[in-house]
Structure 1
Amino acid sequence: MNPINIFLADDDQDDRELFMDALSELPIETSVKQFENGVDLMAELYSGNPKPDTIFLDLRMPLMDGFECLTDIRNVPELSEIQVIIYSTSYNENEVEQLKESGANLYIKKPNSYNQLKTVLYKSLKPFQNTTSKTNGDLSFMVIV
């Protein structure tokens, strides 16, 4: 089975390292490319290189935030099928509703504990293990706080 190809866009280096550490402890094979801002993420998505299976997208980033990235991703037919998981420290019901309407697949509030982080990462990636195409078109919007 091929690894799940993940793009992680988050300007906080500590959060990216914690994400990578938690992911490494899961029984899921993954390949992760990291980005510090939305501009670099979008440049990679437009580059013609292989697309990710899923994107973990922080909302508050410099240069181009997660809201702008999500809108752009959903407006480009070649990118529109990529699962986008919002991964943020904040939780605001109005923003979550806006993100749902904009096409986010999942909203995860960054957990306070390492074990919770491992659990939410496992739950969000498990559907990819059971498919050969790695697409999860039947994923309805969920919020994990």
Structure 2
Amino acid sequence: MLCLIVDDDADDQELFSAAMEKTMLDNYTCIFAGDGAEAIALLNTAPVPDYIFLDLNMPRLNGLQCLSEIRKQERLQEVPVAIYSTSSDELSKNKALGLGATAFISKPTRFHELISKLNDFFSAHAPAKKH
């Protein structure tokens, strides 16, 4: 299982990684990108991930712009992509889902809530089959 985590905040990357260790997933690897542009470059060279998590607000290429670029690539069409953000406004959520996000996850304030939200996401969205 390969998970791409795209977030410009190193503390959030660390927190997300720690939460992943507590989820139901076994045998996974997290790779990280610091912004959407870095993520697109990585996706052009790395194996197709099973899951992609995009922070909404990032420099250079934000989460929505990155999502739009991801969905243009045929080999990434079936990969579950979650936008996660401290923002929980309906406009951002609807825009993300309209661009092809699989889910919109509001960053919780408590660690155990993040684990719970990730488990809910993994339960609802099996990774795409790799060819």
**TM-score, length-scaled by structure 1:** 0.82
Matches within 5 A, 1:35-74: 35-47=33-45, 49-74=46-71
Aligned to 2:12: 15
Residue 125 (structure 1) aligned with residue 118 (structure 2): no
Aligned to 2:128: 135
Matches within 5 A, 1:23-38: 23-29=20-26, 30-38=28-36
**Superposition deviation, residue 127 in structure 1:** 4.6
Q: Which protein is bigger by CA-based radius of gyration? A: 1
Question: Residues of 2 paired with 1:119 and 1:66: CA distance?
Answer: 22
Deviations 1:68-88 (A, max 9, x none): 111111112122111110011
**Superposition deviation, residue 46 in structure 1:** 1.3
Aligned to 1:142: none
Residue 113 (structure 1) aligned with residue 118 (structure 2): no
Question: Residues of 2 paired with 1:45 and 1:96: CA distance?
Answer: 24
Deviations 1:51-71 (A, max 9, x none): 101100001111110111111
Question: Residues of 1 paired with 2:111 and 2:104: CA distance?
Answer: 18
Residue 87 (structure 1) aligned with residue 76 (structure 2): no
Give the secondary-structure state (helix, strand or coil) at the position aligned to 1:62.
coil
Give the secondary-structure state (helix, strand or coil) at the position aligned to 1:85.
strand
Give the secondary-structure state (helix, strand or coil) at the position aligned to 1:28.
coil
**Greater CA deviation, 38-47 or 23-32?**
23-32
